[in-house]
Amino acid sequence: MDWPRGMAGRLCYGGDYNPEQWPESVWHEDMALMREAGVTLATVGVFSWALLEPAEGEYDFGWLDRVLDLLHDSGIAAALATPTASPPPWFTLAHPAGLPVDAAGTRLTHGSRDTYCPSSPEYRAAALRIATALGSRYAGHPAVAMWHVHNEYGTTCHCDVTAAAFRDWLRRRHGFLDALNAAWTTSFWSQHYTDWAQIMPPRATQYLHNPALALDFKRFTSDELLACFVSQRDALRAIDPSVPITTNFVLGGWVPVSHWDWAPEVDFVSIDHYPGSSAPLAAEEETAFAADLARGWAGGRPWLLMETAPNLIYEPGRMAVKEPGRMARLALSYVARGSRGSLYFQWRAPAGGAELYHSAMVPHAGADSRVFRESAALGAVHRELGPALFDGAVVASAAILWDDEAWWASQAPAFPSSSLDYLAAVRSVHGALWRAGVTCDVARPGADLSGYRLVLVPSLYLVSDEAAAALRSYAEAGGTVVVWYFSGIADPAPRVRLGGHPGAWRDLLGVRVEEWLPLAPDASVSLSSGGTGRLWSERVRLAGASAVDSYADGVLAGLPAVTRNAVGAGAAYYVSTSLEDPGRFLASVCAAAGVAPVVADLPAGVEAVRRVNPDALVIINHTAADQPVPSAGVVPAGGHLVVPAGPP
Amino acid sequence: MDWPRGMAGRLCYGGDYNPEQWPESVWHEDMALMREAGVTLATVGVFSWALLEPAEGEYDFGWLDRVLDLLHDSGIAAALATPTASPPPWFTLAHPAGLPVDAAGTRLTHGSRDTYCPSSPEYRAAALRIATALGSRYAGHPAVAMWHVHNEYGTTCHCDVTAAAFRDWLRRRHGFLDALNAAWTTSFWSQHYTDWAQIMPPRATQYLHNPALALDFKRFTSDELLACFVSQRDALRAIDPSVPITTNFVLGGWVPVSHWDWAPEVDFVSIDHYPGSSAPLAAEEETAFAADLARGWAGGRPWLLMETAPNLIYEPGRMAVKEPGRMARLALSYVARGSRGSLYFQWRAPAGGAELYHSAMVPHAGADSRVFRESAALGAVHRELGPALFDGAVVASAAILWDDEAWWASQAPAFPSSSLDYLAAVRSVHGALWRAGVTCDVARPGADLSGYRLVLVPSLYLVSDEAAAALRSYAEAGGTVVVWYFSGIADPAPRVRLGGHPGAWRDLLGVRVEEWLPLAPDASVSLSSGGTGRLWSERVRLAGASAVDSYADGVLAGLPAVTRNAVGAGAAYYVSTSLEDPGRFLASVCAAAGVAPVVADLPAGVEAVRRVNPDALVIINHTAADQPVPSAGVVPAGGHLVVPAGPP
Amino acid sequence: MDWPRGMAGRLCYGGDYNPEQWPESVWHEDMALMREAGVTLATVGVFSWALLEPAEGEYDFGWLDRVLDLLHDSGIAAALATPTASPPPWFTLAHPAGLPVDAAGTRLTHGSRDTYCPSSPEYRAAALRIATALGSRYAGHPAVAMWHVHNEYGTTCHCDVTAAAFRDWLRRRHGFLDALNAAWTTSFWSQHYTDWAQIMPPRATQYLHNPALALDFKRFTSDELLACFVSQRDALRAIDPSVPITTNFVLGGWVPVSHWDWAPEVDFVSIDHYPGSSAPLAAEEETAFAADLARGWAGGRPWLLMETAPNLIYEPGRMAVKEPGRMARLALSYVARGSRGSLYFQWRAPAGGAELYHSAMVPHAGADSRVFRESAALGAVHRELGPALFDGAVVASAAILWDDEAWWASQAPAFPSSSLDYLAAVRSVHGALWRAGVTCDVARPGADLSGYRLVLVPSLYLVSDEAAAALRSYAEAGGTVVVWYFSGIADPAPRVRLGGHPGAWRDLLGVRVEEWLPLAPDASVSLSSGGTGRLWSERVRLAGASAVDSYADGVLAGLPAVTRNAVGAGAAYYVSTSLEDPGRFLASVCAAAGVAPVVADLPAGVEAVRRVNPDALVIINHTAADQPVPSAGVVPAGGHLVVPAGPP
């Protein structure tokens, strides 16, 4: 598929454009500035429902006609959004049942955004109507390069309509009520159901919810939201199948839907990504992880960064400013790792609204500003690099397994340690590889792993029998596997796999874990290798494996901490604690598995990604000094190089 | 106006008196102790509704008759309260629609206090009825020196009646729905309204509220509460215009109404003030600020401290005790700064109720206690100082601008830094002046500033065009202005003033701020002067001004941090960071502007205030050592002097 | 009474057994493992309502028949539970009014546990029906050694039915509305009631609740829950009076009912206890306190530890593992202090449900595990020690007063210090005695104290006139009393006792406290003895007493901190601050009162308890070294000794 339509060979550059917030005189300044900045794609209409359909069934497309024409006349393509993430105020009054209800039974109202019930027939009908109206009017418009359906799907509802839909979904998933009772362990706490009608969403209750119900409700919500997307997608596709359709996946601490399931439903994967720390190299590590994950969802194909902040990093409690040049370096990292460009929220900073201080390419101060000048310079970079980086595959010989459902399942309360953090565990491993210059894919459990020399499994709490078997087969066929603590514990119900942890992979790993010993937040345990473990430790018994590292103090002193098991033609490591610095261990594993850095002897703070078809080596210098990179040259301080280079 | 009636030349001394909590035998002990303590004014009836009107429309005034007679016989005046801050339990059953509803839709019930909906016709009718009944019975009573309407107006409601009243208020403010749409930037997040009926109070919603809606709702609530007050005031005034009427404004971190708008509606300003820190001199700085602010609301005229705690300082989590003598020193600070006396919550500690451990002049231990003895000694001081300090103006040549609306607007979520704190910013400047011995008025933006040599504008986020122009005119006419970071950013909508910050005062200050760089909570930035900035920094470009101080490290190294611009006959400084110690900078500004301390070479920890008509110099020694004060004498440790002295 | 029936001379050992969570094949493995582990008692049916009564009035007892038969065949007794703590899902649909409502008016639903309204006639009828059905079927079953009614009674409701029941309860307690108005000080904040119908549970309101209403609501809830218990108990007793009946009291930071009132209603006292800290000796101190408290509730007679965790300590945020041997040492401490054995939650770790990671004797790893091996070893210890420790009284010559109502009352908001913590105050005193090797009973205020040489009263905020007088009489008759700060402040209303603190005991103590000076959380005050006070200090005036220790710095320097008053033949000490280390002071008081440690020169970390009838000295070595104990021998590292020994 040609996506965005008409952009072949040209990287996308631009962002969310909200001309409806400004008088038309500003639109013309926008066009001039966009051209100056090298903008190639503008996202329009994301939250424009109230203006496009000011009364139920009455449309006002005039302003959008003019905007699209203007963009087209300016040589800028449009990502045209359906505005269904925010129903207009009139919808609330006409269709109160279309509003979401929280766990305590409070029906929310408009005044913010995302106030809809995903299961509401009234909401779905209204959303389909406006999407269809937009499709009918604009599918043939030459500016429209793609459809951007909705925005960051992620609203949860607990209303009675949702409850009924949840029961239908459960019937489809479990088939029989007894199967559900078994999967949910409803024999606990007198929760045995004798009628589907007895099942409720996880509404306000006296104490802890059943974790299996909670997980199924998240799966259900993901599927309900996906049905909302598919409804719009199908209508738009029916009108004009030539326009590619996506919706922007949202990343971060908040992942409301299962993107592995969604990815096949979009014409191409796009993500919104906002790093959460401005500390040196922290946003860089986050960016590389998000990009690798997006590429994983895209099945290794190109994807698109649909939103990030041009100049700010939204830390808790503070909007930190990116130092000069950092905007460009982070953009290049996304692109090097497979994004067909860099799109920003937002083009022009609004004078009001709840996000008036979010970052913009044209800030409140206007175009005479460092931010706009950097934005314009970055547009030029995108133009130059388009042919080299528009397409092409990223080269990686290692993969990390990632699963949204495992994350959700591990967020249950009353777990052995409230410090267990799936995202942090995965990021710790990915970050160590990033610092070592090793490129890493992200794969779904159960995926074909045969292309990799090394597969890493950090704290994957829940895994299916099939996915567990796939990992075993991979190792038997010669692959190297590393599994971290709190992996393979539960089946998809989730129910704990009995007989010793990790139930899914005892045989693969040649160990049997008798018990877990979570550490206090400020505690640590020494390892005989000189390393340090945090958060977690385990009483590991060898059952075929040999110890690679051992606990050196505490109640586990002398017992195995890290083990290695020979498996068929491959090997499987087990890491029973959270290594404070996993770098040295991973370096030895990579060496043993034949996984090399992209470039040997890469200086610290320099990032390198290798691409094929077309071949390219992208090197980004995140440091403030010139850095020599073997066989590529000197990368200027804060700058980058893109050099032709085939696979290693 | 003679207020409190019959008190001319006598400072008020006393507090909240709740005889209804005690058998009548205690009342006689109260009278004896009040006389011993020099009490001149007692506030009665604040929460007596349920006893005064035990059933709807049925009154029991007998006990209050006896109390007022007893007070009068004892030579003590009464501040007679209308009890409308706490409707009786019967009101709840008869008029559930008169109870407030929170943002989640929960209708609150009685059992505490302040459970009423300000917009409820049923509540308003009931409040007017009891106020009128009290007025009719007691307006002519010789003990009644004033009306104390309600108590600390501040309840917010989200019910449907409130919603309708909010819409009416919005119609009056904005006129046309399109004007509201523009002011609120409803083009953002699909919030465009096509019918007034679509507008809701800021009820529970999915995510962030529109900050303009939130600000208008605070303005509306202030106006609704003011209407409640005016309704009672007019009824009481109609019955007997000779009795002055006020309501006690509440101060602190919680300011629910716009006191600038309320002040013209009361016959005199009164405040409740409870400092929040017992650290050395901290309560003293807070007290001086509160008193200066109250004097500002009073337009420079005398005002009245209606409530403070005799012996305790309510810190978060702890009721700290005032050291011996501190009660008197703090009282003198209020009086020196314009209060016609010191009134306390409360006279006698109750044996039960939610505030049973709040401070009292007669504590649980009884009159044989340090607290009562200090209270009695302080009564004598009030009697002695009455003629000198009852009336008279406070001398100040500097003013700080303060605005409740700017505070509310700056409390929106998703601002650049959650550490932005308007009250703290203002207190930082006021405190530095206090420590330097400089008396400072507090003025409303837009007020006539011609009487001042120096006007200080700390972090005034929101300002109208008119108020912005007034400050410019003041500087052009020769005044000196200091504006701090995050001032003049928004108009009253609020919408950001574009083109570079601070939009309201770029020309005045001769600078253009391109971007803000909030600092992490534990970070700082060095200045070339040797000073330190906290919380905030900015990329400042000079546009006429010259740099007075510069950033010395970090990404802004070498750029201006503090600037000065010559403006007409005056000057305008801009401070782009939060100075850790603003004292040195302010000293140089004061010197340049001709603003001198009240007394030269005032020792640290000694407070001085100059009064005129009658002339007096009040000096309070907050230290534990005798302190010599030039031209006044030695102020004893922990004591005070009041000496005759004209203006400097 | 023979309890558990048929267990005379045999300590109970076992725990919660949930065969309904497993296929029957596992049941047979359970029987084999229970025999291996020496299990003598299994608790069954706690949350089995949904399986026992799958539809209203339809029962399925087949599986429970087989379980009880199997237990009996295996020589294991059953504690048969009524399952009423968790109504089945069908109950929710059929009887929504039987569900609890929170303070904000949200009616909770099933999906967790404990979702019932204690006052609901529908819930009570359903609970009585299933209890009666169980009783009818199993009262004669040879396996049934006792009834375990419900589980951890503690649910609170705010619904209208509850409100009506609350009013009835208040009528019974207060008789007349005016008595209630006086007790509650409703003259404060206009809360005067003129009709019982005006009284509400403490539902969502604007600000602080009336603390007297809040306390009465807790008393009412305790009584309502007790009525629920009594209803089941009477029905079961009527069916077969030979089976003893209890319900498991819950301890810890959460004490929802007044166990002093409940204890006479059970045939024997049983408790659930989960220590909250795994720090060295911390769980041990907690255990000793809980056991002494349970023995107090039991009136000095034996009681039963119904639940604790075998291998885990549930710390905030972490499930800490007990070091090898600690499970046994803690079990012995309960038994030494009067428990007829050790029962655990739970026997076998479930594969699902909200508590899937709670500890079990058969963990997820199975019986080939350290935990199961230690469990089996501990079963053998129970078998061996049965004859020595099944019965017999614990020897103690000191007692601590404890009162749930005083705790509830002191948890009101707006108290002088949020650091006041009744449980911590009591635990501080008990812990110091534990470390000194002194055994201590726990007594209800007002109880007969004549058997003790020393009575300790830590921070007993609320006390009745009768209980206050009993303590005075005890001292006058020769007893020694120590009263700590914030004791004897309020009567049961609660209303403050006036005239100087502590109102209940000024005469007894010979002091009069004028005012309290709470300390900041990180502050301290030095004492002339060299000790340190925390949290609290007071201005104490001697009125007969003499100072034992004095404040050495701060505003109270030179004033009494600890006093002693000669009272009749006895003495009364007052401690006006929280001693950082109360050990030295208590040692001197114990010496003066003739209270000796169980064993002289007991090494640190070694616990000793003396029993009579039969006589025994139980010594537990919590340290990792062998410890010589005079006249008992060397207690092996981490081990214990039980030696014959009469009273000292």
Residue in C412, C515, C520 nearest the CB of B363: C515
Crossing angle of helices A583-593 and A422-435, rounded to 10°: 70
Does the distance separating the beta carbons of B114 and C207 come in below 8 Å?
Answer: yes
Does A570 fall in a domain?
yes
- Cα Rg for chain C, rounded, in angstroms? 25
Q: Are B47 and B83 in contact (CB under 8 A)?
A: yes
Picking from B308, B151, B136, the residue whose alpha carbon sits closest to that of residue B225 is B151
Does A62 reach chain B within 8 Å, measured CB to CB?
no
Residue A201 scores a pLDDT above 90: yes
Q: Are C413 and C35 in contact (CB under 8 A)?
A: no
Does the distance separating the beta carbons of A520 and C315 come in below 8 Å?
Answer: yes
Q: Which residue has the tokens 């009825």?
A: B129
Tokens of B481: 């202005």
CB-count exposure of residue A411 (10 Å: 0-12, 13-18, 19+): middle
Segment B363-380 mean pLDDT: 98
Picking from C459, C432, C464, the residue whose alpha carbon sits closest to that of residue C447 is C464
Does C299 reach chain B within 8 Å, measured CB to CB?
no
Q: Which residue has the tokens 């003990």?
A: B143
Helices (H), C240-392: 259-262, 282-297, 326-336, 370-389
What does DSSP say about strands C312-315 and A538-542: parallel, antiparallel, or unpaired? Answer: unpaired
Tokens of A579: 């290594």
Residue C420 scores a pLDDT above 80: yes
Q: Are B91 and B126 in contact (CB under 8 A)?
A: yes
Name the minimum distance, in Å, from the CA of A218 to any CA of chain B: 18
Name the minimum distance, in Å, from the CA of C437 to any CA of chain A: 28
Tell me the C-alpha to C-alpha distance, in Å, between residue A379 and each of A5, A146, A384, C208, C639.
19, 20, 9, 58, 74
| Neighbouring chains to A with at least 3 Cβ pairs closer than 8 Å | B, C
Query: How far is C100 from C110, CA to CA, in rounded Å?
Result: 10
Residues 6+ apart with CB under 8 A from C436: C583, C586, C587, C590, C597
Segment A490-511 mean pLDDT: 98
| Neighbouring chains to B with at least 3 Cβ pairs closer than 8 Å | A, C
Q: Kindly indicate the confidence band of residue B251, based on its pLDDT and cuts at 50, 70 and 90.
A: confident
Q: What is the pLDDT of residue C404?
A: 95
Does the distance separating the beta carbons of C208 and B356 come in below 8 Å?
Answer: no
Picking from A458, A442, A449, the residue whose alpha carbon sits closest to that of residue A337 is A442
CA nearest to A501 within chain C: C365
Contacts B89 to C, Cβ<8 Å = 191-195, 198-199
Q: What is the pLDDT of residue C49?
A: 98
CA nearest to C323 within chain A: A555
Crossing angle of helices C160-174 and C211-239, rounded to 10°: 100
Crossing angle of helices A24-37 and A62-73, rounded to 10°: 30
Catalytic annotation, pick one of C307, C374, C405, C607: C307
Residue in C105, C412, C518 nearest the CB of B106: C105
Name the minimum distance, in Å, from the CA of B207 to any CA of chain A: 6
Residue in C205, C415, C503 nearest the CB of B112: C205
Does B492 reach chain A within 8 Å, measured CB to CB?
no
Q: What is the pLDDT of residue A421?
A: 96
End position of a domain, from candidates C391, C412, C429? C391
Give the other-Cβ count within 10 Å of B135's Cβ. Answer: 23
Does the distance separating the beta carbons of A88 and B208 come in below 8 Å?
Answer: no
Q: Kindly indicate the confidence band of residue C407, based on its pLDDT and cuts at 50, 70 and 90.
A: very high
Q: Are B338 and B303 in contact (CB under 8 A)?
A: yes
Q: Are C44 and C20 in contact (CB under 8 A)?
A: no
Q: Kindly indicate the confidence band of residue B139, based on its pLDDT and cuts at 50, 70 and 90.
A: confident
Does C425 fall in a domain?
yes
Q: Kindly indicate the confidence band of residue B648, based on its pLDDT and cuts at 50, 70 and 90.
A: low
Does the distance separating the beta carbons of C18 and A188 come in below 8 Å?
Answer: yes
Tokens of C498: 């006036």
Segment 401-460 of chain A within 8 Å of chain C by CB: 412-419
Q: What is the pLDDT of residue A254?
A: 66
Name the minimum distance, in Å, from the CA of A181 to any CA of chain C: 10
CB-count exposure of residue B407 (10 Å: 0-12, 13-18, 19+): buried
> Do C274 and C378 belong together in one domain?
yes
Segment A159-180 mean pLDDT: 98
Does the distance separating the beta carbons of B418 and A93 come in below 8 Å?
Answer: no
Picking from C634, C7, C13, the residue whose alpha carbon sits closest to that of residue C376 is C13
Q: HSE-up of A364 (CA within 13 Å, CB side)?
A: 23
Does A276 reach chain B within 8 Å, measured CB to CB?
no
> Do C499 and C589 belong together in one domain?
yes
Residues 6+ apart with CB under 8 A from A185: A210, A212, A493, A495, C21, C350, C351, C352, C353, C356
Does the distance separating the beta carbons of B21 and C185 come in below 8 Å?
Answer: yes
Segment C91-105 mean pLDDT: 98
Q: What is the pLDDT of residue A256?
A: 86
> Do A373 and A414 belong together in one domain?
no
Does the distance separating the beta carbons of C197 and B357 come in below 8 Å?
Answer: no
Crossing angle of helices C24-37 and C370-389, rounded to 10°: 50
Does the distance separating the beta carbons of B355 and C184 come in below 8 Å?
Answer: no
Q: Are B188 and A110 in contact (CB under 8 A)?
A: no
Residues 6+ apart with CB under 8 A from B522: none
Segment A14-21 mean pLDDT: 98
Does C355 reach chain B within 8 Å, measured CB to CB?
no
Segment C496-518 mean pLDDT: 98
Q: Are B118 and B98 in contact (CB under 8 A)?
A: no
Picking from B511, B474, B467, B470, the residue whose alpha carbon sits closest to that of residue B490 is B467
Segment 186-205 of chain A within 8 Å of chain B by CB: none
Segment B460-467 mean pLDDT: 98
Query: How far is B559 from B581, CA to CA, in rounded Å?
Result: 20
Does C554 fall in a domain?
yes
Q: Which helix (H) or strand (E) holds A394?
A: strand A393-394
Q: What is the pLDDT of residue C109?
A: 97
The domain total for chain A is: 3
Query: How far is A525 from A641, CA to CA, in rounded Å?
Result: 42
Residue in C351, C354, C369 nearest the CB of A495: C351
Q: Are C475 and C568 in contact (CB under 8 A)?
A: yes
End position of a domain, from candidates B371, B391, B411? B391
> Do A383 and A529 belong together in one domain?
no
Q: What is the pLDDT of residue A470?
A: 98
Q: Which helix (H) or strand (E) holds A616?
A: strand A616-621
**Count of B–C CB contacts within 8 Å?**
190
Q: What is the pLDDT of residue A142?
A: 97
**Count of A–C CB contacts within 8 Å?**
190
Picking from C363, C325, C140, C342, the residue whose alpha carbon sits closest to that of residue C240 is C140
Q: Which amino acid is at C453?
A: R
Residue A85 scores a pLDDT above 80: yes
Does B103 reach chain C within 8 Å, measured CB to CB?
no
Segment B118-143 mean pLDDT: 97
pLDDT-above-90 percentage for chain A: 97
Q: What is the pLDDT of residues A341-361, one digit of tens each?
A: 999 999 999 999 999 999 999
Mean pLDDT score across all residues of chain A: 97
Q: Which domain holds residue C467?
A: 398-593
Q: What is the pLDDT of residues A448-462, one digit of tens each?
A: 999 999 999 999 999
Beta-ladder partners of B578? B534
For the CA atoms of A224, A228, A234, A240, the dihedral, rounded to the nearest 10 degrees, stands at -150
> Do C454 and C582 belong together in one domain?
yes
> Do C302 and C322 belong together in one domain?
yes
> Do A403 and A511 belong together in one domain?
yes
Beta-ladder partners of B483? B457, B574
Contacts C105 to B, Cβ<8 Å = 106-107
| Neighbouring chains to C with at least 3 Cβ pairs closer than 8 Å | A, B
Q: What is the pLDDT of residue C255?
A: 74
Q: Kindly indicate the confidence band of residue A253, based on its pLDDT and cuts at 50, 70 and 90.
A: low
Query: How far is C524 from C458, CA to CA, in rounded Å?
Result: 19
Q: Are A398 and A481 in contact (CB under 8 A)?
A: no
Q: What is the pLDDT of residue C446?
A: 98
Tokens of A493: 């119900």
What does DSSP say about strands B144-148 and B245-246: parallel, antiparallel, or unpaired? Answer: parallel
Q: What is the pLDDT of residues C343-365, one digit of tens each?
A: 999 999 999 999 999 999 999 99
Q: What is the pLDDT of residues B506-527, one digit of tens each?
A: 999 999 999 999 999 999 999 9
CA nearest to C50 within chain A: A190
Q: Which amino acid is at B302?
A: P
Q: What is the pLDDT of residue B297?
A: 97
Q: What is the pLDDT of residue C545?
A: 98
> Do B419 and B552 belong together in one domain?
yes
Catalytic annotation, pick one of B224, B307, B374, B607: B307
Q: Which amino acid is at B143?
A: A
> Do B565 and B432 belong together in one domain?
yes
**Count of A–B CB contacts within 8 Å?**
190
End position of a domain, from candidates C340, C361, C391? C391
Residue B308 scores a pLDDT above 90: yes
Does C586 fall in a domain?
yes
Does A177 fall in a domain?
no
Tell me the C-alpha to C-alpha distance, in Å, between residue A155 and each of A96, A270, A521.
16, 19, 33
Picking from C219, C166, C228, the residue whose alpha carbon sits closest to that of residue C193 is C166
Q: What is the pLDDT of residue C251?
A: 83
Residue in C55, C108, C352 nearest the CB of A194: C55
Residue in C109, C110, C352 nearest the CB of A184: C352
- Give the domain CATH number at B529: 3.40.50.880
> Do A368 and A406 belong together in one domain?
no
> Do B421 and B513 belong together in one domain?
yes
Residue B252 scores a pLDDT above 70: no
* Backbone φ, ψ for residue C632 (5° rounding): -125, -30
Residue in C102, C364, C371 nearest the CB of A501: C364
Q: What is the pLDDT of residue A1?
A: 73
Picking from C438, C416, C447, C141, the residue whose alpha carbon sits closest to that of residue C296 is C447
Query: How far is C143 from C43, CA to CA, in rounded Å?
Result: 11
Beta strands in C472-594 (DSSP E): 480-484, 511-516, 524-526, 532-534, 538-542, 546-550, 560-567, 570-575, 578-579
Does C130 fall in a domain?
yes
Q: Kindly indicate the confidence band of residue C648, based on its pLDDT and cuts at 50, 70 and 90.
A: low
Query: How far is A293 from B456, CA to CA, in rounded Å?
Result: 52
Does B81 fall in a domain?
no
Does A211 fall in a domain?
no
Output the pTM of the full model: 0.97
- Give the domain CATH number at C295: 3.20.20.80
> Do C435 and C583 belong together in one domain?
yes
Query: How far is C641 from C349, CA to CA, in rounded Å?
Result: 32
Q: Kindly indicate the confidence band of residue B234, based on its pLDDT and cuts at 50, 70 and 90.
A: very high
C307: annotated active-site residue: yes
